[in-house]
Structure 1
Amino acid sequence: MSGAQQKVKVWDGFVRIFHWLLVLLFAGLWWTAENHEMERHGQLGYILVGLLVARILWGLWGSETARFSQFVRSPKAVIGYLKDTEAKPSVGHNPLGGWSVIVLLLLLLAQVVTGLFNSDDILFSGPLAHLVKGDLAEAIGEIHEIVFEVLLVLIAVHIIAIVVYRLRGKNLLIAMLTGWQRADAKITAPRIRSGLWGMVLAAVCIAASWWYFA
């Protein structure tokens, strides 16, 4: 670890709220499905659709550390990071963590999209379920369940990574709670946009999703 350290702002308010809302929504979606509260399950899903759309847009125009162009790196960069994590000090997502974010977003998108088309023909029919029939409808239902299981594995890996980094002296949890992180003094502080704009964007996207699907 480098000797000289500085405290830098790495996560804007929207990214942090998105992260913790995602945790609550995923838990709520699991609970409502397990307890056959399918109307509430669908409503939480509509909120998640809007939230994901807002995060994708924020990944194009938001804070530097939130942008896909900043943390989606080449396979060579990922391999280099795995070989020597101290080679290039950075803030925000490291090359491996950046790809884990992409995988998580893609899985969540697959989950909500299949949910919109999913139906059990008893308690719940997604708002787009009428567009698919027969084998395709059954396949979508199976994909919805499989993706959920994969998400559980990815979440477990994410938690393990947080613990490992904490044991190595890097508290990722505090950074996501406060937005601030200790970093090498040579690091240039990233450009952070006001999270308020992201929150307004999320509110608009969630309202649009609710209006269209609910």
Structure 2
Amino acid sequence: MKIWDSFVRGYHWLLVMAIFGLWWTAEEALMDWHMRIAFAVGALLLTRFVWAIVGSENARLRAFFRGPKEVVQHLKHLQRKDYTPTATHNPAGGWAVMLMWALLVVQVSTGLFATDEIFFSGPLASLVSSDLQGQLTDLHELNFNVLLTVIGLHVFAILVYRLKGVNLLGAMLHGKREGVSQPKLVNGSLAWALAAAIAASAYYFWW
């Protein structure tokens, strides 16, 4: 059964490439491209937040964000041989998604005010004091390292679930998962249009 619509899958893989791009452009001091990629990430995030409200049934926040008790129950269930996956993020995965969203919001937000004090400053850096610019720049760098750590844990979790016979990676590629009921999927075209509009508006503001 198909469980992930085109926007959720595309958003996921574009985000993977964008995070790599952010790291590489920062390492190579290609800050104009760094900012362009950051705007794209912001557009993807904002659109994903909208999709968490009006998108496909299993992509909505209410479908996968559960309380701590259900996370504990899920982890206990995972240890059993009769573990069965769901048609959306499991309770533990839902919390992981929320954590990565929070880290990405912090990353994009602090980047707007960050500066190297020589060649580059974020588009909103002039709105705050030099001391605050420095603090936000330090937070921007620290937060990215935390984000990379969480991504590493995410990859490790994918391997753990694969050992349990659940191919999370494959489902995010082709959108299908066997043995689950198919959720109501929404065409992702409107989401892509919204993401493009947000990114275009950000580029226009920057230039």
TM-score bracket for this pair, using the shorter chain length: over 0.9
CA contact (8 A) 1:81 1:87 kept: no
Q: Is the contact made by 1:54 and 1:201 (CA closer than 8 Å) also made in structure 2?
A: yes
Residue segments in structure 2 that go unaligned for 5+ positions in a row: none
Q: TM-score, normalised by structure 2?
A: 0.94
After TM superposition, list the pairs within 5 Å mapping 1:24-103 onto structure 2: 24-85=17-78, 89-103=85-99
SS in 1 for 2:178: strand
C-alpha separation in 2, matches of 1:119 and 1:98: 33
**Mapped pair 1:151 → 2:151:** no
- The CA deviation at 1:87 is 6.9
Specify the alignment match of 2:160 in structure 1.
Answer: 164
Any idea what SS the aligned residue of 2:112 has? helix
Q: What CA distance in whole angstroms lies between the structure 2 residues aligned with 1:39 and 1:114?
A: 16
Matched, 1:117 2:113: yes
Tell me how large the CA RMSD over aligned residues is: 1.4
Equivalent position of 1:5 in the other structure = none
Deviation at 1:212, TM superposition (A): 2.2
Q: 1:182 aligns to what SS in structure 2?
A: coil
2:102 is matched by which residue type in structure 1? L
Given the alignment, which residue of 180, 183, 186 partners 1:190?
A: 183
Q: Are 2:115 and 2:133, in contact at CA under 8 Å, matched by a contact in 1?
A: yes
Q: Partner residue of 1:129? A: 125
Tell me if the contact between 1:58 and 1:66 (Cα under 8 Å) persists in the aligned partners: yes
Deviation at 1:83, TM superposition (A): 1.5
Question: Which whole-Å CA distance do the structure 2 matches of 1:208 and 1:196 have between them?
Answer: 18
Structure with the bigger RCO (C-alpha within 8 Å, sep 6+) is: 1
Q: Work out the CA distance in 1 between the residues paired with 2:84 and 2:206.
A: 45
How far does the alpha carbon of each residue in 1:9-48 deviate from its partner, in whole angstroms, 9 at most, with x for none? 1100000000000011011110000011111111111111
Inter-CA distance 22–32: structure 2 relative to 1 (3 Å threshold): same
Greater than 6 Å deviation, 4+ residue runs: none
TM-score scaled by structure 1?
0.91
For residue 4 of structure 1, what is the aligned residue in structure 2?
Answer: none
Matched, 1:107 2:76: no
Instruction: Name whichever of 204-213 and 76-85 sits farther off.
Output: 204-213
- Residues of 2 paired with 1:183 and 1:100: CA distance? 23
d(CA) in 1 for partners of 2:164, 2:48: 29
